[in-house]
Amino acid sequence: MRALSQVFLTQILSPVLLPLLLTPALSAQRPATWRCAHVLAEDGVSWRDDVVVTTILDGVVSVQPAADAAGVDRDFGEAWMIPGLIDLHTHLLLRPYDERSWNDQVLHDSAELRVLRGAKYAERTLLAGFVAVRDLGTEGAGFADVALGAALDELVARGPRIYPATRAIVLRGCYGPAPDDPKVIKGAQTVAGVDEIVAAVREQVAGGALWIKVYADYRHGADGPVAPTFSLEELQALCAEAQRLERPVAAHATTDEGIRRAVLAGVRTIEHGAGASEATLQLMREHSVVLCPCLAANEAIVEYAGRKGPIVSRLNAAKVGFQRALAAGVEVACGSDAGVFDHGDNARELELMVEYGMTPAQALRAATATAAKVLGAGDLGTIRPGARCGLVVLGGDPLADIRNLRKVRAVIREGDERAPR
Ligand SMILES: [Zn+2]
Q: Are residues 212 and 131 in the same domain?
A: yes
Q: Are residues 37 and 144 in the same domain?
A: no
Q: What is the CATH number of the domain that holds 37?
A: 2.30.40.10
The string of pLDDT tens digits covering residues 243-283 is 999 999 999 999 999 999 999 999 999 999 999 999 999 99
> 91 CA distance to ligand 1 centroid (A)?
6
Q: Are residues 120 and 237 in the same domain?
A: yes
Band of residue 111 on the pLDDT scale cut at 50, 70, 90: very high
> 139 CA distance to ligand 1 centroid (A)?
9
Whether 1 maps to a domain, the answer reads no
Least confident among 19-28, 186-195, 219-228, 328-337: 19-28
> 267 CA distance to ligand 1 centroid (A)?
16
Answer whether residue 364 shows pLDDT above 80: yes
Domain holding 62, by residue range, is 7-83+380-414
> 111 CA distance to ligand 1 centroid (A)?
18
Answer whether residue 29 shows pLDDT above 90: no
Whether 420 maps to a domain, the answer reads no
Q: Are residues 90 and 66 in the same domain?
A: no
> 224 CA distance to ligand 1 centroid (A)?
20
What pLDDT score was predicted for residue 21?
36
Whether 243 maps to a domain, the answer reads yes
> 301 CA distance to ligand 1 centroid (A)?
12
What pLDDT score was predicted for residue 70?
64
Answer whether residue 417 shows pLDDT above 60: no
Band of residue 156 on the pLDDT scale cut at 50, 70, 90: confident
Number of domains observed in the structure of the chain: 2
The string of pLDDT tens digits covering residues 185-212 is 999 999 999 999 999 999 999 999 999 9
> 134 CA distance to ligand 1 centroid (A)?
10
Q: What is the CATH number of the domain that holds 146?
A: 3.20.20.140
Q: Are residues 252 and 345 in the same domain?
A: yes
Q: Are residues 334 and 403 in the same domain?
A: no
What pLDDT score was predicted for residue 361?
98
Whether 357 maps to a domain, the answer reads yes
Q: Are residues 161 and 296 in the same domain?
A: yes
Band of residue 22 on the pLDDT scale cut at 50, 70, 90: very low
Tell me the mean pLDDT in the region 1-6.
34
Whether 193 maps to a domain, the answer reads yes
Cβ neighbors of 39 (< 8 A, separation 6 or more) are: 47, 48, 51, 53, 63, 80, 81, 383
> 173 CA distance to ligand 1 centroid (A)?
19
> 52 CA distance to ligand 1 centroid (A)?
38
Its pTM stands at 0.93
> 136 CA distance to ligand 1 centroid (A)?
6
> 154 CA distance to ligand 1 centroid (A)?
26
Q: Are residues 170 and 261 in the same domain?
A: yes
Band of residue 155 on the pLDDT scale cut at 50, 70, 90: confident
> 141 CA distance to ligand 1 centroid (A)?
14
Q: Are residues 116 and 178 in the same domain?
A: yes
User: How high is the mean pLDDT of the chain?
Assistant: 90
> 167 CA distance to ligand 1 centroid (A)?
12
Q: Which residues surround ligand 1, an ion (CB under 5 A)?
A: 337
Tell me the mean pLDDT in the region 358-362.
98
Whether 340 maps to a domain, the answer reads yes
> 271 CA distance to ligand 1 centroid (A)?
8
Q: Are residues 95 and 242 in the same domain?
A: yes
Whether 230 maps to a domain, the answer reads yes
> 88 CA distance to ligand 1 centroid (A)?
10
Answer whether residue 10 shows pLDDT above 70: no
Q: Are residues 79 and 89 in the same domain?
A: no
The string of pLDDT tens digits covering residues 303-318 is 999 988 888 988 999 9
> 202 CA distance to ligand 1 centroid (A)?
21
> 117 CA distance to ligand 1 centroid (A)?
17
Q: Are residues 274 and 345 in the same domain?
A: yes
> 275 CA distance to ligand 1 centroid (A)?
16
Whether 421 maps to a domain, the answer reads no
Answer whether residue 19 shows pLDDT above 80: no
